Amino acid sequence: MNRTAISQQIIDTCLKMSAMGLNQGTSGNISVRFGNGMLITPTSVPYEELSPDDIVYVDNSGDAEAGKNPSSEWRFHLDILKSKPEENVVLHNHAISATAVAVMNKPIPAIHYMVAAAGGNIIPCAPYATYGTQALSDHAVKALSGYKATLLQHHGMITTAKTLEKALWLAQEVEVLAKLYLSILPIMDPAPILSDAHIDEVLHKFRGYGLRDTH
């Protein structure tokens, strides 16, 4: 697929993310592996104003194409893609429920079997660091080791996937699980969770399943 088509898909996914209530304003960002680097949303441009020409190419050395400013979070996008050669997409947003759990610096435990959609028995929470910094990138890469999604303390969430569709689907799943977790905590903390054996069984069933079959 050519650059223009991928760039338009990034914009379409950003618009869907907002329409689904997963993001506010220009706070989210999306990248897709491309050539010897990635294509990523620019900084501080409302999604509805984006055109394919606005999407920024950043090479694997972290150099952006001339005359364009990538998202302030480009470092963790690039580092995550480097650390996960099996994935092609990094999606970041400030979904309200997921961010609320992240403020508490809690991972989402195995309160529901769909936690396994993120690759394990929790959805981890990376420690806080200032946005756009190498420290935040390092925390995110470490938290995502063995997982497809993580919360970022006092910040938001990240999902990774092979395709934009799957990254957006997983972001919605994380937000639903976060909302469910928040509804349980006032009643029972710690929340009841599934055993590792139960999650391992679900992970086995998920292997090889398509996007819409993980239920």
DSSP secondary structure string, 38-96? EEEPBTT--GGG--GGGSEEEETTSPBPTT--B-TTHHHHHHHHHH-TT--EEEEE--H
* Catalytic residue (one of 49, 65, 73, 173): 73
HSE-up (13 A, CA, CB side) for residue 158: 33
Predicted confidence at residue 98, as pLDDT, reads 98
- Can you read off the two tokens belonging to residue 210? 């398509």
In the residue annotation, 175 being an active-site residue is answered as: no
Domain map (residue ranges) of the chain = 3-208
- Homologous superfamily of 3-208 in CATH? Class II aldolase/adducin N-terminal domain (3.40.225.10)
Mean pLDDT by 10 residues, the chain (215 residues): 96 97 91 98 95 98 97 98 98 98 98 97 98 98 98 98 97 98 96 96 82 44
pLDDT score recorded for residue 208: 66
The predicted pLDDT at position 209 comes to 65
Residues 6+ apart with CB under 8 A from 43: 26, 69, 70, 71, 72
- What local confidence, expressed as pLDDT, does residue 211 receive? 47
Tokens of 215: 């239920």
